[in-house]
Chain A
Amino acid sequence: MSNAVSTAPRAAVRPASSKPTEQRKTALAWLTLPALFFFLVFAVVPLAGVLILSFASWDGIGAIGAAGLDNWFSVLADPGLYNALGLTFLIMIVSWLVQTPISLLLGVFTAGSQRYRAALAVLYFLPLLLSSAAVAIAFKALLDPNFGLATGLGLPFLAQDWLGVPQLALGLVIFVIAWQFVPFHTLIYQGGVRQIPKSLYEAAQIDGAGTIKQFFHITLPQLKYTIITSSTLMVVGSLTYFDLIFVLTGGGPGNSTRILALDMYLRGFRANLMGPASVIAVILVIIGLALALFLQRLGGKDKQGSQLEGL
């Protein structure tokens, strides 16, 4: 009886609109046109442009000529390229190693329910608000061997020539990048942790698991997609740390912080070699794409699916 009642109304309330579902769904396609326009014209076309320019010879001032494979040969034979590549990957990996654990732990920390943690969190997120230029300038002043923190805190260790010694400059760059971006990733992890259902922890506690066990067996696995998101943003983002390094060290001292993006800019706009600079740009894009693909593979194909499934 109830079956008949439940089916009948459903049959009567078939789609009010007369258009078949399929047609309506594909008609939605035009909604993407504005976004597509911007993206194609100002992202995809320049992308093609980079490839084309890598085969051109242009000094940024005169006319653009053809250069065939010359730029590619000269750049690939230039040790400067490998220096830049090495530095970029070094900074990328070390940054990840430094930032992820700190952000994760801080994310868990700030997701806790104590009041003082919320208060601390307010201050933690301050660096998020600053532009890279501002951060770089502030640190330059801070680390002045004569008038900066070193004298203030009375720590001679801090009075090094941070920006003048190659290894120190590199270390400083990694530190400042972490200082600026850990808050952002902390936020992401905090959000991720807050989404973990308390029921899982309660169940674990009933089973007698301690805090550390809970962290490794519940928190970390539940944060899988958060880790992938944060890592993707971090890794792809690290390819583009232009602003901070440009203002902080300008690529120096010497070439010790001349990452790929900076190398490209300096080659193109200072040395007037737009062709070779475009070669570097192409390399940047290839690396970016490869990394993104790799990380997507790592995250599993169902990244698109809602994470609420199964809960």
Chain B
Amino acid sequence: MKQPQTSRRSFLALAALTPFAVAATSACGTSGPGASSGGGGASMWYLSGEPNQTTMQKAVDAFNPANSADKITVTYFQNDAYKTKIKTAIGANQAPTIIYGWGGGGLKTYAEANQVDDLTGWFDQNPDLKKKFFPSVFGAATVNGKIYALPNQYIAPIVLFYNKDLFQKAGVQPPQTWDDIMSLVKTFNDMGVAPFSLGGQSRWTSMMWLEYLLDRIGGPEVFNAIFEGKPNAWMDPAVIQTGTKIQELVSADGFIKGFSSITADSQADQALLFSGKAAMMLHGSWTYGAMKKAGQNFVQNGKLGFVPFPTVAGGKGDPKNGVGNPAQYMSISSKASDKEKESAKKFFKDGILTDTVIDAYINSGSVPIVNGIENKLNMSEDKEFLNFVYGMAKNAPNFQQSWDQALSPTAAEALLNNIDQLFLKSITPQQFAENMNATLGK
């Protein structure tokens, strides 16, 4: 009678322990990207999505063989998921060695929590590297006078794209003023085509509209006041006017039906433009490259048009002002080992923006933040677009960083939430301003 008892019990015990054993070994194996095998090499998290994913992978693949002691391992994440995941990872002290970001308020949070290294000294030691970049890109990387990130990749202004075929069919010209936009909305709705594509569920896509509108109406001073946390800064009449105008656009069916359930991550919004379901799209310049890849020769056949954001009658903002991401930024986790940091810095210096990489970005329709590339741009098949973007970067009297990156994460989340509701017409522009006022200084 005893035998079955013991064997059953010991079987249960064994069965109970096995998953733990397996888990324990797998846990050891992945005790965090930060704590790799003690040698050199750095881990990096980057965004998935073409064409940049391939470009970055190629950069890493070119760097690694020549630098076997400093191998870089990349893990790819989707944009929206990345923004949450990286914060959790940093909070858990399991951040990758190289932290990708957009500078501004997010970077400030990391810097003030001592989670990223101060790179000012390193830049001083490498003046050539510093001189390589557009001078304007260091602003978003600087916190309290110190540089905490390497500016990287390309400048990404927001551009108004349009489908040339649809415009030809409708017999209209791309918009130059806000009134043009409103009349185009009617034209295209009558034609049965959505005037504007929008990935509203991502919310920062809707934010782009407000960024430009506010700048055109009230000039950059309005957001500067907000950024500095001046009391009541959101109640500026320009903000209210911006909210009103955007709701007019929504009410006029300016955006594609169902926009609030389309995400930008899936690139469905871009697909709507190049498949002819929408006539225009306000989006980041990086979508040019993405559409080039996925659009089945839409771009290559010259069907993609682009213009600056229109002016608003009576507005104070300079029409040459730009809005978007001045660059992308790479920081080094302060919790990484010294060897890992060295590997990362080596990659920063020698791997991340080599000539090959620069060419790759130019080929995919992006303008790298590197000085002296005018000739290269002119030789590209996309030179029209590239020069357009480059001109914007060079000549813009003011370039406003994306609001959700400039502000602190707390304020940014409230902002995105309120923008969502503004576009859904669940709150008035007045309420929007009041809600945002409550986040000043947070």
Q: Do chains A and B touch in the complex (CB under 8 A)?
A: yes
Interface residues in chain A, defined as those with a beta carbon under 8 Å from any beta carbon in chain B: 59-63, 145, 161-164, 166, 250, 252-256, 266, 269-273
Task: Give the distance in Å from the alpha carbon of A164 to the alpha carbon of B90 in the complex.
Answer: 33
- Interface of chain A: mostly helix, strand, loop or mixed: loop
Stretch among B32-40, B256-264, B341-349, B379-387 lining the A interface? B256-264
A70–chain B nearest beta-carbon distance, Å: 12
User: Which listed residue (A164, A255, A269, A272) contacts B261, Cβ 8 A?
Assistant: A164
A270–chain B nearest beta-carbon distance, Å: 5
Beyond known contacts A253-B201, A253-B424: 8 more, CB 8 A cutoff: A59-B109, A59-B113, A61-B87, A61-B115, A62-B114, A164-B258, A164-B261, A166-B424
| A164 near B259: Cβ-Cβ < 8 Å | yes
Residue B138 CB within 8 A of the other chain: no
Residue B420 CB within 8 A of the other chain: yes
A220–chain B nearest beta-carbon distance, Å: 41
Q: Which of B389-438 contact A (CB under 8 A)?
A: 408-410, 412-414, 417, 420-421, 424, 426
Q: Mark B97-117, 1 if CB is under 8 A from A, else 0.
A: 000000000000110111100
| B410 near A273: Cβ-Cβ < 8 Å | yes
Q: Which B residues are in CB contact (< 8 Å) with A62?
A: 109, 112-115
Residue B91 CB within 8 A of the other chain: yes
Residue B68 CB within 8 A of the other chain: no
User: Which listed residue (B115, B413, B424) contacts A254, Cβ 8 A?
Assistant: B424
Interface residues in chain B, defined as those with a beta carbon under 8 Å from any beta carbon in chain A: 83-84, 87-88, 90-91, 109-110, 112-115, 200-201, 257-261, 408-410, 412-414, 417, 420-421, 424, 426
Q: A250-B201, A253-B261 are in contact. Are A166 and B426 (CB under 8 A)?
A: yes
User: Which listed residue (B115, B201, B413, B426) contacts A270, Cβ 8 A?
Assistant: B413
The number of residue pairs between A and B whose CB atoms lie closer than 8 Å in the complex comes to: 78
| A271 near B261: Cβ-Cβ < 8 Å | no
| B261 near A161: Cβ-Cβ < 8 Å | yes
Q: A59-B409, A60-B87 are in contact. Are A253 and B113 (CB under 8 A)?
A: no
A257–chain B nearest beta-carbon distance, Å: 12
A276–chain B nearest beta-carbon distance, Å: 10
A143–chain B nearest beta-carbon distance, Å: 9
| B424 near A271: Cβ-Cβ < 8 Å | no
Task: Give the distance in Å from the alpha carbon of A61 to the alpha carbon of B94 in the complex.
Answer: 11
A196–chain B nearest beta-carbon distance, Å: 35
| B260 near A61: Cβ-Cβ < 8 Å | no
| B88 near A60: Cβ-Cβ < 8 Å | yes
A230–chain B nearest beta-carbon distance, Å: 31
| B257 near A252: Cβ-Cβ < 8 Å | no
B301–chain A nearest beta-carbon distance, Å: 25
| A272 near B410: Cβ-Cβ < 8 Å | yes
Q: Which A residues are in CB contact (< 8 Å) with B91?
A: 60-61
| B87 near A269: Cβ-Cβ < 8 Å | yes
| A254 near B257: Cβ-Cβ < 8 Å | no
| A161 near B258: Cβ-Cβ < 8 Å | yes
A162–chain B nearest beta-carbon distance, Å: 8
Task: Give the distance in Å from the alpha carbon of A255 to the alpha carbon of B421 in the complex.
Answer: 7
| B260 near A164: Cβ-Cβ < 8 Å | yes
Q: A59-B109, A62-B113, A266-B413 are in contact. Are A161 and B257 (CB under 8 A)?
A: yes
